Amino acid sequence: MSDVALLPREPFFYLRHGQTDWNVEGRCQGQTDIPMNAAGEVEVAASVARLPMGEIARIIASPLTRTQQSARHASDRLGLPVELDDDLKEAFWGDAEGKADTSWRPAWCAGKTLFGAEPFSDFAHRMVRGVTRALAQEGTPLIVGHGGAYWAIEQALGRDGFSHLPNGTLLKHTPHEKDPALWRVTFI
């Protein structure tokens, strides 16, 4: 497990942005600002249709276009404005952005610094800072973010894995009632 701080034990929803052309091509996006494609719009529309009305107090998103587009779908459904937080941006992957080779990811996640990429530990601390800020406000937030960003969130939930979170996936995170080390993660 990494040295990433654990998240405050407050419930939250997480929506990964919809598909982009680079997702289809298997290219690393990182902070390269690629918009969703038509399939991504459909994915996210289907996911946000399942959002529970009245349970979410705020929508906070990464400022990259693909997450803003995804957040707008949630905003339209819930009637809430979208707040942007720079700390929720995807990792900066340096020279790997735009390339289809992802063989470097396990080493990067394990702490190896590669080709000008933001170190995983710096990225994870940034992500935890953004999510913690969202959880410090009143009410349950919907955080709209990225696949790599969720790897950092998993570490801050006390999990060792690096799950592949498909585009348009919507999750609810609830602290376990009896075990303070556990979280209940539910696909919505």
CA dist 4 to 84, 126, 128, 155, 156, Å?
23, 10, 8, 7, 6
Catalytic residue at 90? yes
pLDDT at 105: 84
Of residues 106 and 69, the one with the higher pLDDT is 69
pLDDT at 177: 86
State the pLDDT confidence band at 130, using cuts at 50, 70 and 90.
very high
Catalytic residue at 17? yes
Residue 139 has pLDDT above 90, yes or no: yes
Domain boundaries, the chain: 12-140
17 annotated to a ligand binding site: yes
Closest CA to 28 of 147, 169, 120, 150: 147
- With b for 16 or more beta-carbon neighbours within 10 A and e for fewer, the 41-71 pattern comes to bebbbebbeebeeeebebbbbbbbebbbbbb
9 annotated to a ligand binding site: no
pLDDT at 1: 43
Q: Which CATH architecture has domain 12-140?
A: 3-Layer(aba) Sandwich (3.40)
**Average pLDDT for 142-169:** 90
pTM: 0.94
Q: What is the pLDDT of residues 63-99, one digit of tens each?
A: 999 999 999 999 999 999 999 999 999 999 999 999 9
Indicate which residue of 41, 90, 97, 154 is catalytic: 90
Indicate which residue of 17, 73, 125, 173 is catalytic: 17
85 annotated to a ligand binding site: no
pLDDT at 22: 97
Retrieve residue 85's tokens: 């937080």
Most confident of 6-10, 77-81, 163-167, 180-184: 77-81
